[in-house]
């Protein structure tokens, strides 16, 4: 079964305190759903059309698990805290076996 991944690219953050509050809720929600944080993007080198922005990569055992984690009540509570304080490019992608 192919793994699932969350890929988040963070654009400007208007409220760092809300991002910190989101992190406190999102971390446990992701771990409870089986997610493993592979990268939190402290160092980024962008090439071609890329822009140097914070990137977060989270791995799940399956694509379905990654989707279910996003839709979980615990993660949705974290998203509500984040609200419109940050613009993200967020994707759930399926890995290759």
CATH number (domain holding residue 41):
3.30.70.100
Neighbours of 75 (CB within 10 A): 21
Please tell me whether residue 37 adopts helix, strand or coil conformation.
Answer: strand
pLDDT digits (tens, 9 = 90+) for 29-75: 999 999 999 998 778 888 998 888 889 999 999 999 999 999 999 99
Percent of the chain clearing pLDDT 70 (strictly above): 100
**Range(s) of the domain holding residue 56:** 4-94
Q: What's this model's pTM, rounded to 2 decimal places?
A: 0.90
Count of structural domains within the chain = 1
């Amino acid at each position: 079964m192919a793994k699932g991944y969350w890929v988040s690219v963070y654009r400007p953050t208007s409220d760092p305190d809300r991002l910190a509050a989101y992190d406190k809720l999102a971390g446990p929600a992701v771990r409870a759903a089986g997610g493993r944080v592979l990268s939190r993007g402290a160092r980024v080198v962008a090439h071609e059309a890329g822009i140097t922005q914070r990137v977060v990569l989270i791995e799940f055992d399956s694509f379905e698990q990654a989707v279910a984690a996003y839709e979980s009540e615990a993660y949705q509570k974290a998203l509500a805290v984040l609200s419109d304080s940050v613009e993200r490019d967020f994707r759930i992608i399926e890995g290759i076996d």
